[in-house]
């Protein structure tokens, strides 16, 4: 508790009496006789100077005055309903000691009123020369009709209308509770400025910050320094920000971070409209969705929570990560714009709902197994070429039914993998617009636009799409592929489908058709059905040396591959044309099929061509150890 030096305090408060003032008390009776003279002289002394001289305190009212001498200095004791004014501030109390025309101390029921601001305390020391009122007490209150500050130590500048509290203060305003070790109140601006261990609480948020300010009229809070915010939807932090409570609108910058049960978000700057459930992010944006194993990067993003949607621009990219055999594998994709949507699945069933025994394949506009069956109905016997052997044609004894069944073991595996599980409660959609590029360790892709839906697990690539797998390139006018969220299971290459496989040196194996239905294992094609105008060019080797080239044509055919090399070709319908040439007799114009285009220059060579950002480490464990504000200053003051 700060001490205020004074010669004495009111007689009725005997605990304040001190031995050195005993002489003053004994001479008080003699002074009473000249009360009228003293009153007139003191009143004239207080009001003699012009209004421009702010050092002089004006006495408005007092019941009685006692004049005494102490150490050669005249001191006046003001008793009863004391009212004094300076700089337009009305100061009242039960009693006071006046040491000069500009300095006094007041006791008991101290009240200071200035321009709508009212200050209450137990004691007041006022210095007119400095226009400073130092108010102390078990409970000091400052009110301005919009907020109440409670403390025990407050200095108030009556000229500037600025209050300074220290050793702890707390404010109540419009369901907001704020406290800090020290701070200032700017009465003209209705602005509180806090520093040192600032805590804020309202009906929606708990906030801890190093410093900040709060406007009682606009109900806007600004926080600076390390700031942590807890709310019903999650956690936020930054080093600068503001909160507009009437609009329920936040701004965060400088290491801005948001966390929910499913997501973590980083950005240089975040604007969040909680009432509209939407936000805008700028600069080094990262959004980490643990439920989808997805990280989104960009320099600008806009999101809404209802419906759940994110649009990312300015160098956007995304990373979809998986863990296979304890080995991480990540697919990186970039485009000019990335668009993410999550919506309710109308077909959702509860988890305990029994799924049908034989769920149907997802309905799509791509070629389904039924369509393939129809395409091969009533076809004549097959011819088989085994590229591992001599490469010559042999009569076929395999009928259409055998072909459609494929390799029995593989077909059984595929059927299980393509079975549709009980639908998720949500449908997730991803759209990538213009200049799309994808890089994964064993698979790369490029196109103009891309779309994916978790409803049918289908990805769709549009406008000059192409995929690469090691030395293999696959292209078509449009590509649709089916995934199990970890790898591609099947891909439909529609219209002008073309597979190119680099064999060695300048030799490229080629497969061409109107459509190609390809089946994948570990993101490698192991089986491909070529439908309509099927053509192949492939090279035969002996002792790893290319010796012959084979050119084949058929209406439809099936190609088996192993490690991205043709192992066997099955032909359908007649006629089947197949010519094998020694390498030195192969016509140059026949070495490349019409439409051949090796597009390796478009192929991303590393993930750094897709995304140059490093993912942030998760902060969940760090934030879980943070404690919400406990408001110890408020608790201490409430006990007074």
Q: Tell me: pLDDT of 109 over 90.
A: yes
| Dist CA 338 CA 262 (whole Å) | 20
Structure tokens at 188: 């003209």
Q: Is the pLDDT of residue 188 over 80?
A: yes
What pLDDT, in 10s, does the model give residues 224-244? 999 999 988 889 999 999 999
Q: Please determine, for residue 397, whether its predicted confidence score (pLDDT) is greater than 70.
A: no
Spatial neighbors of 291 by CB under 8 A, at least 6 apart, are 262
Find residue 107's DSSP bridge partners.
95, 123
pTM attached to this predicted model: 0.73
Does residue 516 fall inside a structural domain? Answer: yes
Q: What count of other Cβ atoms lies within 10 Å of the Cβ of residue 455?
A: 19
Domain assignment present for residue 251? The answer is no
b vs e for 89-103, b when ≥16 Cβ sit within 10 Å of the residue's Cβ? bbbbbbbbbbbbbbb
Lowest mean pLDDT: which of 148-157, 315-324, 391-400? 391-400
Whether 279 shows a pLDDT value over 70: the answer reads yes
Q: What is the pLDDT of residue 349?
A: 54
Q: How far are the Cα atoms of 391, 408, 544 from residue 412, in angstroms, in the given order?
A: 29, 6, 34
Domain count within the chain: 2
- Dump pLDDT digits (tens) for 309-321: 999 999 999 998 8
Examine residue 141 and state whether it is found in any structural domain, yes or no: yes
**Is residue 499 situated within a structural domain?**
yes
Sequence-distant (≥ 6) Cβ neighbours of residue 227 within 8 angstroms: 207, 208, 209, 210, 212, 237, 238, 239, 240, 241
Q: Give 29: exposed, middle or buried? Use CB within 10 Å, 0-12, 13-18, 19+.
A: exposed
Q: According to the model, what pLDDT value does residue 43 have? A: 42
Supply the pLDDT for residue 325: 63
Of 134, 167, 200, which residue is a domain's last?
A: 167
- Residue 164: the pLDDT is 96
pLDDT value at 12 more than 80: no
Contact 501, 508 (CB under 8 A): yes
Confidence grade of residue 282 (pLDDT, cut at 50, 70, 90)? very high
Q: Give the residue numbers spanning the domain of 405.
A: 369-423+467-609
Cα distances (angstroms) measured from residue 536 to each of 7, 152, 464, 497, 510 = 112, 91, 21, 12, 5
In this structure, what CATH number is given to the domain that contains residue 133? 2.60.450.10
Q: What is the mean pLDDT of residues 14-40?
A: 37
Chain-wide mean pLDDT for the chain?
A: 80
- The reported pLDDT for the residue numbered 585 is 86
The closest of 143, 142, 123, 145 to 134, measured between CA atoms, is: 123
278 falls within a domain? no
- DSSP 8-state code for residue 534: E
Closest CA to 234 of 255, 253, 259: 259
pLDDT at 414: 34
Q: Examine the fold and report which residue of 107, 140, 167 is the final residue of a domain before the chain moves on.
A: 167
**Domain end: 133, 167, 201, which one?**
167
**Confidence bin at 355 (pLDDT 50/70/90):** very low
Burial letters 288-299, b for 16+ CB under 10 A, else e: bbeebebbbbbb
Residue 403 has pLDDT above 70, yes or no: no
Integer-rounded Cα radius of gyration of the chain: 42
List of long-range contacts for 560-564, beta carbons under 8 Å, 24+ apart: 560/526, 560/527, 561/524, 561/525, 561/526, 561/527, 561/528, 562/526, 563/524, 564/469, 564/470, 564/471, 564/472, 564/501, 564/524, 564/525
Give 426's pLDDT tier (boundaries 50, 70, 90): confident
Read off the pLDDT band of 384 (50, 70, 90). very low
User: Residue-wise over 590-629: b if at least 16 C-beta within 10 A, else e?
Assistant: ebebeeeeeeeeebbeebeebbebeeeeebeeebeeeeeb
Look at residue 36 and give its three-state secondary structure: helix
**Residue 114 to residue 93: CA distance in whole angstroms:** 15
pLDDT band at 423 (very low <50, low <70, confident <90, very high): low
The pLDDT > 70 percentage for the chain reads 78
Compute, in degrees rounded to 10, the torsion defined by CA atoms 459, 463, 464, 467: -10
Lowest-confidence region among 166-170, 236-240, 309-313, 519-523: 519-523
**According to the model, what pLDDT value does residue 550 have?**
87
On the question of pLDDT at 162 being above 70, the answer is yes
Is a pLDDT exceeding 50 seen at residue 374? no
Q: What is the DSSP letter of 160?
A: T
Q: Which of 84-93, 119-128, 154-163, 287-296 has the lowest mean pLDDT?
A: 287-296
Residue 308 placed within a domain: no
* pLDDT score for 145: 80
Looking at the predicted structure, is the pLDDT value of residue 18 above 80? no
State the average pLDDT over residues 536-552: 85
Residues 331 and 319 sit within 8 Å (Cβ to Cβ): yes
- Which pLDDT band holds residue 326 (cuts at 50, 70, 90)? low
Question: Is 2 a domain residue?
Answer: no
pLDDT more than 90, % of the chain = 51
The answer to whether residues 459 and 478 touch, using CB atoms and an 8 Å cutoff, is no
Q: Tell me which of 19 and 260 has the higher pLDDT.
A: 260
Q: Which two tokens stand for residue 450?
A: 């891309």
Specify whether the CB–CB gap between 631 and 547 falls below 8 A: no
pLDDT exceeds cutoff 80 at 401 = no
pLDDT at residue 150 above 90?
yes
In a domain, 243, yes or no: no
Paired with 625 in beta bridges are none
Residue 376, pLDDT > 60, answer: no
**pLDDT for residue 473 is more than 60:** yes
Q: Is the model's pLDDT at 270 over the cut of 80?
A: yes
At 233 the pLDDT is 80
């Amino acid at each position: 508790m700060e001490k205020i030096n004074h010669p004495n305090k009111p007689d009725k408060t005997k605990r304040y009496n001190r031995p050195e003032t005993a002489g003053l008390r004994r001479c008080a009776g003699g002074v009473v006789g000249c009360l009228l003279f003293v009153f007139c002289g003191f009143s004239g002394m207080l009001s003699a100077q012009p209004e421009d001289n702010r050092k002089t305190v004006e006495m408005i009212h007092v019941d009685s005055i006692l004049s005494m001498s102490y150490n050669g200095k005249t001191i006046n004791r003001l008793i009863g309903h004391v009212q004094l004014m300076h700089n337009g501030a009305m100061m009242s109390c039960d009693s006071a000691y006046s040491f000069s025309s500009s300095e006094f101390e007041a006791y008991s029921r101290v009240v200071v009123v200035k321009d709508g601001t009212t200050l209450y305390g137990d004691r007041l020391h006022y210095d007119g020369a400095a226009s400073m009122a130092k108010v102390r007490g078990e409970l000091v209150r400052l009110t301005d009709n919009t907020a109440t500050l409670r403390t025990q130590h407050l200095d108030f500048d009556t000229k500037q209308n600025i209050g300074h509290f220290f050793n702890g203060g707390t404010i109540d305003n419009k369901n907001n509770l704020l406290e800090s070790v020290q701070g200032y109140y700017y009465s003209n601006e209705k602005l509180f400025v806090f520093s040192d261990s600032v805590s804020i609480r309202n009906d929606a948020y708990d906030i801890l910050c190093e410093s900040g300010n709060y406007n009682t009229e606009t109900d806007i809070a600004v926080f600076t320094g390390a700031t942590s915010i807890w709310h019903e939807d999650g956690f936020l932090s930054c080093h600068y920000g503001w909160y507009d409570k009437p609009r329920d609108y936040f701004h965060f910058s400088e290491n801005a971070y948001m966390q929910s049960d499913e997501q973590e978000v980083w950005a240089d700057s975040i604007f969040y409209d909680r009432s509209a459930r939407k936000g805008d992010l700028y600069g080094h944006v990262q959004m980490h969705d643990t439920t989808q194993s997805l990280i989104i990067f960009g320099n600008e993003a806009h999101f809404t929570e209802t419906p759940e949607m994110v649009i990312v621009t300015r160098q956007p990219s995304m990373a979809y990560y998986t863990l296979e055999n304890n080995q991480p594998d990540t697919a990186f994709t970039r485009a000019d714009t990335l668009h993410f949507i999550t919506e309710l699945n109308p077909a959702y069933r509860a988890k305990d709902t029994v799924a049908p025994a034989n769920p149907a394949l997802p309905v799509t506009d791509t070629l389904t197994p039924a369509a393939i069956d129809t395409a091969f109905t009533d076809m004549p016997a097959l011819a088989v070429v085994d590229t591992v052997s001599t490469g010559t044609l042999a009569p076929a004894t395999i009928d259409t039914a055998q072909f459609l069944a494929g390799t029995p073991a593989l077909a059984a595996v595929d059927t299980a993998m393509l079975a549709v599980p009980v639908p998720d409660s949500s449908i997730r959609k991803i759209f990538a617009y213009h200049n799309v590029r994808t890089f994964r360790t064993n698979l790369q892709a490029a196109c103009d636009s891309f779309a994916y839906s978790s409803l049918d697990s289908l990805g769709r690539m549009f406008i000059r799409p192409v995929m690469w797998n090691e030395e293999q390139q696959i292209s078509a006018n449009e590509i649709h592929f089916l995934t199990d969220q970890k790898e591609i299971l099947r891909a439909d290459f529609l219209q002008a489908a073309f597979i190119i496989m680099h064999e060695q040196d300048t030799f490229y194996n080629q497969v061409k058709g109107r459509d190609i239905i390809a089946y994948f294992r570990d993101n490698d094609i192991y089986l491909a059905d070529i439908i309509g105008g099927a053509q192949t060019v492939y090279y035969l080797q002996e002792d790893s040396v290319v010796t012959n080239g084979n050119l084949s044509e058929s209406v439809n055919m099936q190609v088996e591959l192993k490690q991205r090399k043709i192992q066997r070709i099955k032909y359908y319908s007649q006629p089947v044309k197949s010519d094998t040439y020694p390498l030195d007799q192969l016509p140059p114009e026949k070495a490349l099929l019409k439409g051949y285009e090796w597009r390796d220059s478009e192929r991303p060579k590393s993930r750094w061509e897709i995304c140059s950002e490093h993912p942030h480490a998760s902060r969940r464990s760090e934030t879980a150890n943070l404690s919400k504000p406990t408001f110890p200053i408020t608790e201490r003051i409430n006990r007074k």
